[in-house]
Homo-oligomer: A and B are copies of this chain.
């Protein structure tokens, strides 16, 4: 209908999930392997309900997955999700320079 480009909302949601400090740090920590919530709590110094809120955002975006083991819930990264994000940032690269196509003069 409109002139506007279509957006991959799932991918955008993943970027939104990672682009917040607490969640950014969670992702970094999970890069070393899965952690239970209580471990993350300690390592981040974050209140329980706050961390739970952020883990939900990451999970909803498909960036992390969880598994319960008894009382504990362990979170880990979803490699495919991170691959997709890297692919997006990668498409976005060289060959992109248009070295000969710089238009002098007319534009709009």
Chain A residues in contact with chain B, CB under 8 A?
2-5, 7, 12, 15-16, 18-21, 24-25, 27-34, 36, 38-39, 42-45, 69-72, 74, 76-77, 79, 82, 85-86, 89-94, 96-98, 101-102, 104-105, 107-108
Contact = CB atoms under 8 A, between A and B. Distances in A.
Contacts of A18: 15, 19
Given A5-B25, A5-B44, 10 more contacts: A3-B42, A5-B28, A15-B18, A30-B96, A33-B101, A34-B98, A69-B102, A77-B92, A79-B93, A82-B93
Nearest to A13: B19
Q: How many copies does the complex hold?
A: 2
Max chain B C-beta neighbours (<10 A), residue from A16, A43, A92: A92
Contacts of A27: 92
Contacts of A107: 36, 38-39, 71-72
